[in-house]
Amino acid sequence: MNIEIRDLMLRANEIRRLAIDMIYNAQSGHPGGSLSSADILSALYFKVLRVDPKNPLWEERDRFVLSKGHASAAYYAALALRGFFPLEDLKTFRKIGSMLQGHPTIHVPGVDMTTGSLGQGFSNSLGMALSAKIDKKDYLVYVLLGDGECNEGIVWEAALSAAHNNLDNIIAILDRNMYQLDGATEKILSLEPLQDKFRAFGWNVFNVDGHNIEEILNAIDMAKRRNGKPNMIIARTIKGKGVSFMENTHEFHGKAPNKEQYERAIKELDEIEHKIKGADPNE
Ligand SMILES: Cc1ncc(C[n+]2csc(CCOP(=O)(O)OP(=O)(O)O)c2C)c(N)n1
């Protein structure tokens, strides 16, 4: 682990802590899928994305679409930490009148697409990639989707269309945490063999440990080589990652922690921070 990776891990942990804070404070939100995607968001916002927080609508910027819009707490935390708006604003999460509603909208600086209706953001990202090609722009379109989200028919229609249009400027990341709203994905509507499905639809497929930032970055580098096919990075993750009693369950998909659970969660995340800081960066 080098110093850069350690910094990205600390950022991910900070995203997790802020997301838990926000959801607890609002007594509403989605902890499970926010925690599973924190390392991916850290890699994107602190290393990969070509964006300018001072000029969120910069035309040449890379686009990012959070297609699993319910993970907004982690998304807003990443945007605030990256400097798109003050950290103080996170306290208004899900409050009446706040720009930081339960699902992201384009009124939030740094948010490129309003999402929340599952499958739609993935399809929107295709339009962005297609328009980049038409306008001869070289920005890339990143999109993060959930595995339960792949129950939506629109995902597969978009997958067909992206390959048909040779949209190699799309880098999709699938948060494969194995749980959706009310149970395990394979029990509700099985997706496996998922990588074969995307390959058969004409995509490059990369498999990574979605909590290993180095692996995420390497896969993104490979996806950037652009061979005429759209790119799908299947990131194996743990729903609720970082908070023991939220891990590998759908129980905290859309449920806020109570006071005792909140305190326990923050304590565990503090311990993780301590551990990352104590690790030898040259190992
Ligand atoms: C079209 C649509 N149907 C239903 C919902 C309600 N919903 C919100 S999250 C969710 C489950 C999503 O599962 P997954 O993509 O696996 O999310 P993650 O585990 O990554 O949080 C559902 C059904 C929705 N937002 N949109």
| Ligand 1 within 6 A of CB of 149 | yes
Helix (H, G, I), strand (E, B) or coil at 279: coil
What would the pLDDT profile of 96-149 be if each residue is shown by its tens digit?
A: 999 999 999 999 999 999 999 999 999 999 999 999 999 999 999 999 999 999
pLDDT grade, residue 85 (50/70/90)? very high
Task: Tell me how far CA of residue 159 lies from CA of 62, 164, 202, 227, in angstroms.
Answer: 20, 9, 8, 16
Q: How far is the CA of 133 from the centre of ligand 1 (A)?
A: 30
What pLDDT is recorded for position 23? Answer: 98
- What span, in angstroms and rounded, lies between the C-alpha atoms of 75 and 87? 12
207 beta partners: 234
Tell me which of 39, 72, 149 to substitute to probe ligand 1's pocket, judged by most ligand atoms within 8 Å of the beta carbon.
149
Look at residue 22 and tell me whether its pLDDT is greater than 80.
Answer: yes
Question: CA 84, CA 15: separation in Å to the nearest integer?
Answer: 14
The residues with which 63 forms a beta bridge, in sequence order, are 141
pLDDT of residue 214: 98
CA of 148 to the centre of ligand 1 (A): 6
Residue 283 confidence (pLDDT) above 80: no
Q: Show Cβ contacts of residue 71 under 8 Å, excluding neighbours closer than 6 positions.
A: 30, 33, 34, 37, 144, 146, 175
From the alpha carbon of 175, which atom of ligand 1 is closest?
A: 20
Q: How far apart are the first and last CA of the chain?
A: 6
**Nearest ligand 1 atom, CA 30:** 21
Q: What is the pLDDT of residue 201?
A: 98
246: which 2 tokens?
A: 């939220």
Q: Which atom of ligand 1 has the smallest separation from the CA of 36? A: 20
CB 252 less than 6 A from any atom of ligand 1:
no
Atom of ligand 1 nearest to the CA of 253: 21
> Could you identify the residue written with the tokens 């190699």?
168
pLDDT tens for 172-190 read 999 999 999 999 999 999 9
Spans of all domains in the chain? 3-278
CA 110 to the chain's CA centroid: 14
Cβ(31) to ligand 1 under 6 A? Answer: no
Q: Does residue 21's CB lie within 6 angstroms of at least one atom of ligand 1?
A: no
Strands 204-209 and 170-176: unpaired
Q: Is the pTM of this model over 0.85?
A: yes
The per-residue pLDDT for range 43-75, each reduced to its tens digit, is 999 999 999 999 999 999 999 999 999 999 999
CATH of the domain spanning 3-278: 3.40.50.970
Q: Is the CB of 115 under 6 A from ligand 1?
A: no
Q: Is the pLDDT of residue 279 over 90?
A: no
Is cis: bond before 230, omega within 30 of 0? no
Pocket test for ligand 1, best of 115, 118, 179, 191 (most atoms within 8 A of CB): 118
CA separation for the pair 141, 38 (Å, rounded): 19
How much is the pLDDT for 127? Answer: 97
Residues 215-234, mean pLDDT to the nearest whole number: 98
